[in-house]
Structure 1
Amino acid sequence: MGARMIFRNYPSYNESDVEPFDFSISKELLLHRSDVLVGEMIGEGAYSIVYKGLLRNRFPVAVKIMEPSNSSVNKAREKMFQKEVLLLSKMKHDNIVKFVGACIEPELMIVTELVEGGNLQRFMTNSRRDPLDLNMALSFALDISRAMEFVHSNGIIHRDLNPRNLLVTGDLKHVKLADFGIAREETRGGMTSEVGTYRWMAPEVCSREPLRVGEKKEYDHKADVYSFAIVLWELVTNKEPFASVISSLVVPYLVSKGRRPSLENIPDEIVPIIGSCWAQDPDARPEFKEISVLLTNLLRSLSSNSSIDTTLPDEEPYDDEMEDSETRPLLQEYRCKVKKPKEKKKKKKVMKMRLPFSKKFKAWLYKP
């Protein structure tokens, strides 16, 4: 049974509104506002502010509060909030931020697990002087690919994949996908144009080709693959994409003309992966299932003498399944480019990944 409520106490609620929005969020997903203690601000977006918080005075959480809007657009904002809650509540994956619950009175609030390491953009900025360790960069990329693979398998397009929406765990070993505010189910009826963040936006999304009145832009989940290519390029280079472009508003024009960040000094093994992912033609881009295979094999090759674990718990590799797919030539082409490390070369020891939460909190957080 769904909860049908309106914002009697919400700051932007106006009794004169002709049609108050009725929520259809299951009661099982709702929290009592008194159970959530809001602390310091840790992030801010276009329509929301994120805070640290405590759930029932015991468990650390992240609290995303939608900023009040004026009454004329209140209903649209409420619909957006409901859609994000319903999508995020279904996204149960190790590399996607864990949904805890939501509040709809007296304010719009989404509560998730607290990912202690902050967003990936801040993490890279803080270490901008030095490139990330290649194993770390590719391990992060594999986490992202696996998350996006799961999202796409559920028929969802994220539409805003960029470092601000990727969170680093407290042990700096994992990355988790967050913010489904503009995500939507993939349909053939057309999509909203220019949704996302310009520097990571696919050319088919930010195309300036004129549309007829009422016509929508045609693009699909491959737009997320393009965004991933830009993120992968950032992870490997630890540089800002299109940094020489003064205004991000110019980026769509450059991208539409085939302009991409420089692949100079990118390891040879990674160049074809990035190049295929940001191909101008969406159909030429690989699926995330393929990307996960490529990154897994590359990491195994580069880290054969280290203790990095590149396979998530309870997840089997896709090698056997992918060998029989139509993408086998693509995989073989990439695999032959992977350089096997010399046996005598010493490898830097890396501690095995560990979970950033206490066992007690994890048991509560992931209870069935």
Structure 2
Amino acid sequence: MSERLLGGRYELEQLLGQGGMAQVYRARDRVLDRPVAVKLLRPEYANDATFVARFQREARAAANLVHPNIVAVYDVGQDGNQHYIVMEYIAGRTLKEFIRERAPLPVDLALRIAEEVCTALEYAHRHGLIHRDIKPQNILLDEEGEVVKVADFGIAKSRLDPESTADRLALGTVKYISPEQARGVEVVPQSDLYSLGVVLYEMLTGRQPFDGETPVSIALQHIEAEPPPPRQINPYIPPAVEAILLRALAKNPRERYASAREMRQALERYRLAGLETTGPLPQAVAPPAIPAPPARPDQVPTRGTRPAPRVSPTPRAIPTRGTTLGPLGIALLILIGVGMVSLVLLLVRLLYPPRPLVTPTSVPTTAVPTWPTAPSPGIPVLLRDLTGLSAADARAILEQDGLLYVEGPPRCDPYIEPGHVVEQKPRYGTRLLAGQAVTVTLSAERTLARVPYVVQMSYEGARLTLLGACFRIERKELGCTSTPVGYVARQEPRAGVSEAQGITVTVYVSIGYQETILPELLRVPLADAQRRVEAAGLIWGYANPQTQADMPPGVDIDDQGAPGQVISYLVQYNGVRKTNGELPAGARVPCGAVVHVAYYALP
């Protein structure tokens, strides 16, 4: 297409998609030098003055929705007879494309996506906006498939009023509309939950609940027909998930969840209680049977009755002959016992003095210290720490101490080199007798392995999972996310890719949806700084070029950074303005705060 410029600012670059109401382009904001998405209203709607007025009013209301799961609206304008809206550009794909590639989705993934949509709806409903057009095409996933954003808030108001004709029903939308929308009556927040139920149905089964040759026939099914139970299509859907789904698809809005919050909580309760997949489930392995203790003669069950539960008997006093010891006798026995123990310890110390513990640095592989005398039989030996030693060093130390070296199955450890001791049993510090065996576990050779999926796990669960797969773990905090606090919202590298065992996997642990962590921006290239700001759930403001002429007296701009790098920034939120000197990287700031930067520009 030929180059077009809207409002003297937005340069249209590429057509991304089109629907019955509008076309969406990727564009470049020439003022802020950033990519944006521009939605152009079709001419047939542009000539409807009533619709245009509502479009502009609701678009401006949607611009006030600042939430990490909602595509941000930057601007609304008109260029001649062309009405447009400027939105955040998401480099990724729609949920519809994702479903086409991978449906049916795993239950935990489908529920996580639905939860994040619920979070967006909850926020919008609280601000008085009903989406009215929830469908997979309006749900966007980033390139990693981990961040969910809902688009077109307050824009796609249903046109299914009584005067609408059948040919004005958009087939792509009617498959997701609620019964009340199909009847042309007033929509309510539960209308969005019905549409989300259809989306969840499609994620788990690969199809919508209703289909037909015409939009009207589909709309009538939404009004009158019951959806086929999803477990008939995919029997691996858990019954509890099917119950959540069918409640969302109730014909009467009052029979659905009372709010998006209630539906989100229902999804979270199931997902956090126990995850299942939509694929065949592995057979459970029964635990080894534990033999019951032999019954006492006085507890033989009689025929026709069940054995009584085994209860630990209360210790009974043991009768003794003669008189019992008084307090003086008990004290005397204790003193005698303490004296004998002290005497034995003194003899052990004289006959076998303690030796210094051997560490990996004190025992080279080429020379292992020897002791002048071997431990005497029957004398306790203090087991030393072998962790991190090579197999040869560990064997030599145990032989010097008169203990037997036994090698167990190897286990990959991301922090200990292959062939070195990962674990020892018994643990170090245990006193053993000469001749007893010590089992050591060596670190196995590292290979390529798939990175486990740990998103939505608790940090401790993710840590254990990654360690079990022989990957190191690094924790970072992430805000502006609907993921529960303390749970993993994102991971790098992403799950499923093959990586060398021993590398570090970074997990981003949620701190909630109200705050985020201010990223490092100083001395960072401008484009990279913008990516960091937007990834943190913040809004990229203006970028102000600076040269030496703009510097205060005595300040050399070359000391602030290199050309093209950020040299200062200003964070603005809730009427507060803070500079980089007041708000360093790593500080917590509210989600949706605006970050303005100054960068080193060549004259």
**Partner residue in 1 for 2:95:** 120
* SS across alignment from 1:200: coil
Q: Supply the distance in 2 between the matched residues of 1:109 and 1:32 (Cα, whole angstroms).
A: 8
Residue 220 of structure 1 deviates from its aligned partner by 2.0
- Residue 479 (structure 2) aligned to one of 313, 318, 324: 313
**Partner residue in 2 for 1:238:** 206
- 5+ residue gaps, structure 1, are 1-30, 185-190, 208-215, 320-346
**Partner residue in 2 for 1:177:** 150
- Residue 177 (structure 2) aligned to one of 188, 201, 205: 201
Aligned runs of 1:66-145 on 2, under 5 Å?
66-69=41-44, 73-106=47-80, 107-128=82-103, 131-145=104-118
Distance 1:54 1:46, change over 3 A: same
The answer to whether residue 531 in structure 2 is matched with residue 358 in structure 1 is yes
Residue 54 of structure 1 deviates from its aligned partner by 1.5
**Partner residue in 1 for 2:25:** 51
- Bigger RCO of structures 1 and 2 (CA < 8 A, at least 6 apart): 1
Residue 81 of structure 1 deviates from its aligned partner by 2.8
Q: Supply the distance in 2 between the matched residues of 1:257 and 1:69 (Cα, whole angstroms).
A: 32
Q: Supply the distance in 2 between the matched residues of 1:156 and 1:251 (Cα, whole angstroms).
A: 26
Contact 2:198–2:249 (Cα < 8 Å) also in 1: yes
Q: Supply the distance in 1 between the matched residues of 2:100 and 2:142 (Cα, whole angstroms).
A: 16
**Partner residue in 1 for 2:190:** 222
Residue 173 of structure 1 deviates from its aligned partner by 0.8
Residue 42 of structure 1 deviates from its aligned partner by 0.5
Q: Supply the distance in 2 between the matched residues of 1:70 and 1:155 (Cα, whole angstroms).
A: 24
In the TM superposition, what whole-angstrom CA distance separates every residue of 1:157-198 from its partner, at most 9, and x where no partner exists?
Answer: 2111111111112221122111132349xxxxxx94688832
Q: Supply the distance in 2 between the matched residues of 1:241 and 1:316 (Cα, whole angstroms).
A: 28
Distance 1:133 1:318, change over 3 A: closer
- Higher-Rg structure is 2
Contact 2:108–2:275 (Cα < 8 Å) also in 1: yes
Distance 1:62 1:318, change over 3 A: closer
CA RMSD in angstroms comes to 3.6
**Partner residue in 2 for 1:154:** 127
Residue 360 of structure 1 deviates from its aligned partner by 4.3
Contact 2:69–2:481 (Cα < 8 Å) also in 1: no
In the TM superposition, what whole-angstrom CA distance separates every residue of 1:61-102 from its partner, at most 9, and x where no partner exists?
Answer: 11111123388x342342143023212212211111011212
Contact 1:309–1:352 (Cα < 8 Å) also in 2: no
| Equivalent residue letter for 2:190 | K
Aligned runs of 1:315-330 on 2, under 5 Å?
none
| Equivalent residue letter for 2:194 | Y
Distance 1:133 1:58, change over 3 A: farther
Distance 1:143 1:353, change over 3 A: farther
| Equivalent residue letter for 2:64 | K
| Equivalent residue letter for 1:115 | I
* SS across alignment from 2:222: helix
The answer to whether residue 221 in structure 2 is matched with residue 254 in structure 1 is yes
**Partner residue in 1 for 2:287:** none
**Partner residue in 1 for 2:264:** 292
* SS across alignment from 2:52: helix
Distance 1:364 1:278, change over 3 A: closer
| Equivalent residue letter for 1:281 | N
Q: Supply the distance in 1 between the matched residues of 2:142 and 2:481 (Cα, whole angstroms).
A: 20
Tell me the number of residue pairs that the alignment of Structure 1 and Structure 2 aligns: 293
Q: Supply the distance in 2 between the matched residues of 1:262 and 1:348 (Cα, whole angstroms).
A: 31
Q: Supply the distance in 2 between the matched residues of 1:96 and 1:316 (Cα, whole angstroms).
A: 11
Residue 149 of structure 1 deviates from its aligned partner by 1.0
| Equivalent residue letter for 1:174 | V
| Equivalent residue letter for 1:93 | H
Q: Supply the distance in 1 between the matched residues of 2:241 and 2:114 (Cα, whole angstroms).
A: 11
- Residue 271 (structure 1) aligned to one of 242, 254, 261: 242
Normalized against structure 1, the TM-score is what? 0.69
Normalized against structure 2, the TM-score is what? 0.44
Q: Supply the distance in 1 between the matched residues of 2:125 and 2:479 (Cα, whole angstroms).
A: 20
Q: Supply the distance in 2 between the matched residues of 1:315 and 1:360 (Cα, whole angstroms).
A: 14
Q: Supply the distance in 2 between the matched residues of 1:289 and 1:218 (Cα, whole angstroms).
A: 21
